[in-house]
């Protein structure tokens, strides 16, 4: 089968996979890891060398390197968000998804603007500041305007000392003209997953609907950048095809974006296929990814693309999410519901099964207990530190100078407005410890403490 998009070079990827079968020495692995510590990334063949490692000692060295790189770029923080599903209407028939058009078991629903407002109110009451707007790949009669109205609705809802400060969007791929319309709204990252880069598998799993067009989906990020977007997010649904192939193809996609637009993805998502009601294939992934291999995937992606945020969803169990904190993940969803109306109503069958159903505060307590700062920060979006400007700070590890203080501010807001007494105590102790241990300049420490006093006095939405 001939690939319609040249930057996914199927033959080259397969050749790299074949070459990797030769024995790799510990010295070769350590040389790659030493190179990675320079924060410039590694190439596809080097990434595959790391992915093939099974020796426990070498694996720990890979994990340690990934953790070190994540610390160097982003520091000891985790960004939190919630997905907001507004519709499960869909024109596609993806064999692994509960939203598939032929799934007659699913109760179809597109939320009204009033219902979207109600969902937003619930998220605000929990303490969320960032949402990912998600919709199936079909809209009610008003078409794409439905999404635009939903964005307006979410931003319009406020609560005492609370509002959604940034919306990212995960919707069907658009034309350049449609992307320009979407770009006119104050959103952050446009997110879209290719699902699988392997064309024969893609064709088999997407038999009908607009999503059957492999090339149109794959080139969506090109059109988004051409339309003026600064940040895009890409991802793979692991379990549909050989994960080694998928990682190499993902790196080819990133290489293409960097070459053409001078910037790679702002985020990479790493979901694994989970059971979905009405989609039998999802219960038996064609290419299952073990926990051991999944850990390697996360760590190697952090090493290969050090500047990019890595997102882990609530598909994974609390235990796996906890491990992933030290492997390179920098963003997680929390308290998620994957059906329209799931926050304000009794949750029903969503797009996929959830592995972590804990409410937001329980997730935050877990994060704090492991020494990480939960962050709801949106300062970069609102200060214009996006796209190339963000990358110029992220690549050399300078962005954390902004990220850590701003994470502390948003966490202090959460503690003041939503936390129970236990979390207030442990959270305040962590903030004090991070100020002393992770902020080098005394002048910056003083500024941070001054801002924290302002937050304690009732001021909100403070950022550097």
pLDDT at 279 over 80: yes
Q: What is the pLDDT of residue 175?
A: 97
pLDDT at 23 over 70: no
pLDDT at 216 over 90: yes
**Model pLDDT for residues 366-424, shown as the tens digit of each residue:** 999 999 999 998 877 777 777 777 777 777 767 767 789 999 999 999 999 999 999 99
Whole-number Å distance between alpha carbons of 15 and 22 = 12
Residue 330 sits at the vertex; the CA angle it makes with 439 and 403, to the nearest 5 degrees, is 30
Q: What is the pLDDT of residue 463?
A: 87
Residue 375, beta-bridge partner list: 79
Domains of the chain: 72-381 (3.20.20.70), 384-456 (no CATH)
Q: Is 447 helix (H, G, I), strand (E, B) or coil?
A: helix
Please give the share of the chain, as a percent, with pLDDT higher than 90. Answer: 84
Q: What is the pLDDT of residue 224?
A: 98
With b for 16 or more beta-carbon neighbours within 10 A and e for fewer, the 394-409 pattern comes to beebebbbbbbbbbbb
CA distances from 373 to 5, 387, 431 (A): 41, 24, 8
Name the band, by pLDDT with cuts 50, 70 and 90, for residue 43: very high
Structure tokens at 181: 């319309």
CA distances from 295 to 53, 107, 420 (A): 12, 35, 33
Give the CB-side neighbour count of residue 382, counting CA atoms within 13 A: 13
Question: How many other CB atoms are found less than 10 A from the CB of residue 247?
Answer: 25
Q: What is the pLDDT of residue 18?
A: 85
Lowest mean pLDDT of 19-28, 275-284, 365-374, 442-451, name the range. Answer: 19-28
Q: Which residue has the tokens 């073990």?
A: 290
**Model pLDDT for residues 286-312, shown as the tens digit of each residue:** 999 999 999 999 999 999 999 999 999
Q: What is the pLDDT of residue 383?
A: 76
Lowest mean pLDDT of 220-229, 256-265, 291-300, 396-405, name the range. Answer: 396-405
With b for 16 or more beta-carbon neighbours within 10 A and e for fewer, the 130-140 pattern comes to bbbbbbbbbbe
Name the band, by pLDDT with cuts 50, 70 and 90, for residue 190: very high
Q: What is the pLDDT of residue 401?
A: 72
Q: Which is more confident, 19 or 133?
A: 133
Whole-number Å distance between alpha carbons of 296 and 127 = 33
Nearest residue to 288 (alpha-carbon basis) of 300, 274, 270: 274
DSSP 308: S
Q: What is the pLDDT of residue 4?
A: 83
Beta strand ranges found along 75-186 (DSSP E) = 77-87, 130-135, 158-159, 162-163, 166-170
Name the band, by pLDDT with cuts 50, 70 and 90, for residue 71: very high
Q: Which residue has the tokens 């939960």?
A: 374
Lowest mean pLDDT of 60-69, 157-166, 360-369, name the range. Answer: 157-166
pLDDT mean over 236-250: 98
Q: What is the pLDDT of residue 395?
A: 74
pLDDT mean over 69-78: 92
Q: What is the pLDDT of residue 428?
A: 97
Q: Which is more confident, 321 or 24?
A: 321
pLDDT mean over 226-253: 97
> How does DSSP assign 329-375, residue by residue?
--EEE-S---STTTTTS-----SS--S----HHHHHHHHHHTTPEEE
pLDDT mean over 187-196: 97
The 3-state DSSP composition of the chain as helix, strand, coil percent (nearest 5) reads 50, 10, 40
Structure tokens at 151: 């964005």
Please give the share of the chain, as a percent, with pLDDT higher than 70. Answer: 97
Tell me the torsion sign for CA atoms 177, 180, 184, 190: positive
Tell me the torsion sign for CA atoms 115, 121, 126, 131: positive
- With 0-12 / 13-18 / 19 or more C-beta atoms within 10 angstroms meaning exposed / middle / buried, residue 415 is buried
Whole-number Å distance between alpha carbons of 74 and 289 = 27
């Amino acid at each position: 089968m001939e690939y319609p998009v040249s930057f996914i070079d199927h033959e080259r990827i397969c050749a790299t996979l074949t070459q990797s079968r030769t024995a790799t020495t510990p010295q070769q692995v350590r040389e790659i890891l030493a190179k990675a510590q320079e924060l410039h990334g590694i190439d596809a063949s080097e990434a595959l060398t790391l992915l093939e490692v099974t020796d426990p000692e070498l694996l720990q060295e890979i994990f340690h390197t990934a953790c070190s790189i994540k610390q160097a770029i982003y520091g000891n923080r985790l960004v939190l968000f919630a997905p907001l599903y507004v519709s499960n209407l869909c024109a596609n028939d993806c064999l692994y998804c509960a939203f598939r058009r032929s799934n007659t078991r699913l109760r179809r629903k597109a939320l009204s603007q009033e219902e979207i407002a109600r969902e937003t109110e619930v998220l605000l009451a929990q303490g969320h500041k960032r949402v990912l707007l998600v919709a199936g790949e079909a809209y009610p009669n008003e078409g794409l305007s439905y999404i635009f109205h939903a964005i307006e609705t979410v931003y319009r809802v406020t609560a005492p000392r609370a509002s959604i400060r940034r919306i990212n969007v995960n919707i069907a791929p658009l034309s350049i003209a449609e992307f320009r319309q979407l770009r006119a709204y104050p959103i952050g990252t446009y997110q879209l997953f290719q699902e699988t880069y392997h064309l024969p598998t893609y064709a088999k799993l997407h038999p009908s609907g607009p999503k059957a067009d492999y090339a149109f989906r794959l080139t969506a990020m090109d059109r988004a950048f051409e339309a003026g977007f600064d940040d895009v997010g890409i991802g793979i649904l692991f379990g549909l095809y050989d994960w080694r192939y998928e990682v190499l193809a993902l790196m080819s996609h990133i290489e293409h974006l960097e070459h053409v637009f001078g910037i790679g993805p702002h985020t990479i998502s790493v979901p694994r296929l989970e059971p979905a009601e009405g989609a039998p294939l999802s219960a038996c992934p064609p290419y299952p990814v073990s926990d051991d291999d999944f850990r390697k995937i996360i760590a190697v992606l952090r090493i290969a693309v050090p500047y990019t945020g890595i997102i882990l969803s609530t598909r994974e169990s609390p235990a796996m999410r906890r491990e992933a904190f030290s492997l390179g993940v920098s963003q997680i969803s929390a308290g998620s519901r994957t059906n329209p109306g799931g926050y304000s109503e009794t949750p029903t069958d969503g797009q996929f099964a959830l592995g972590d159903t804990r409410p937001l505060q329980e997730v935050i307590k877990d994060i704090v207990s492991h020494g990480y700062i939960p962050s709801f920060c949106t300062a970069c979006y609102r200060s214009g530190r996006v796209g190339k400007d963000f990358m110029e700070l992220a690549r050399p590890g300078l962005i954390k100078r902004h990220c850590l203080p701003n994470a502390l501010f948003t966490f202090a807001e959460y503690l003041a407005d939503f936390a129970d007494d236990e979390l207030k105590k442990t959270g305040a102790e962590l903030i004090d410890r991070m100020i002393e241990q992770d902020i080098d300049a005394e002048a910056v420490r003083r500024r941070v403490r001054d801002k924290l006093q302002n937050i304690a006095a009732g001021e909100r939405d403070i950022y550097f």
